[in-house]
Amino acid sequence: MNSVSTGPIEAVLFDLDGTLIDTAPDFVRVVNLLRQEDNLPPLAAPLVRAQVSNGARALITLAFDLKEGEAGFTEKLQQLLDLYLSNLAEESSLFDGLDELLHVLEQQNIPWGIVTNKPRLYTEPLLEGLNLAERCSIVICPDDVTHKKPHPEPLLMACKAINANPNKTLYVGDHIRDIASGNSAKNSTIAVSWGYIDEGEDVNLWNADHIIHTSEELLQLLVNTYNVCPAGENKHA
């Protein structure tokens, strides 16, 4: 945890899956299509949602009780990735209220970006499919760095690319590795509880500067602590 900075910010960066975009519905669809091919019953959506942040390998373990290195694991993993890539924005969407929040940042000329462990192969078509690619100031994927989150390198790279002081940048995430990465980069860190959090995990133990439960709370934090003006207002007025 950092000493919480206040006052004007220079940028807001978001984790992707489970923070900015609810991608779980498309993973639920893909996982259950694969299970159907093996004559297995569908898994309940909450079971799949809880594993999305842990990656495709965790989804294969969940869906087929296969561990990496076991026979059939690699084949199932590639099938899942191919099926996901073929239509990865069918049911995914921004979390409730975040489109409005992004518009507020854009109105105030505060750049926002994405720092994710999702490979660019999947990130770019997802953003294109949701009409976010042109709005986003920077996207950093694991392809771009030597060390992915929880290392600070991706966040520091993003800040440098948009000429934002890390100390005046917020990082918003739904996983302990997001908060660890942001804290190491000297960002102000915001943990959101609406994401893909494992059952029994305590967000309060992540050492985030702030814990937020709704997009409305996030906007109020930006307004009250970081001098972001609400929608319809002009900070230069």
Separation between Cα atoms, residue 222 and residue 153, nearest integer Å: 25
Can 17 be counted among the known catalytic residues?
Answer: yes
**Residue of 17, 22, 26, 178 marked active site:** 17
Can 96 be counted among the known catalytic residues?
Answer: no
Catalytic residue annotation? 15, 17
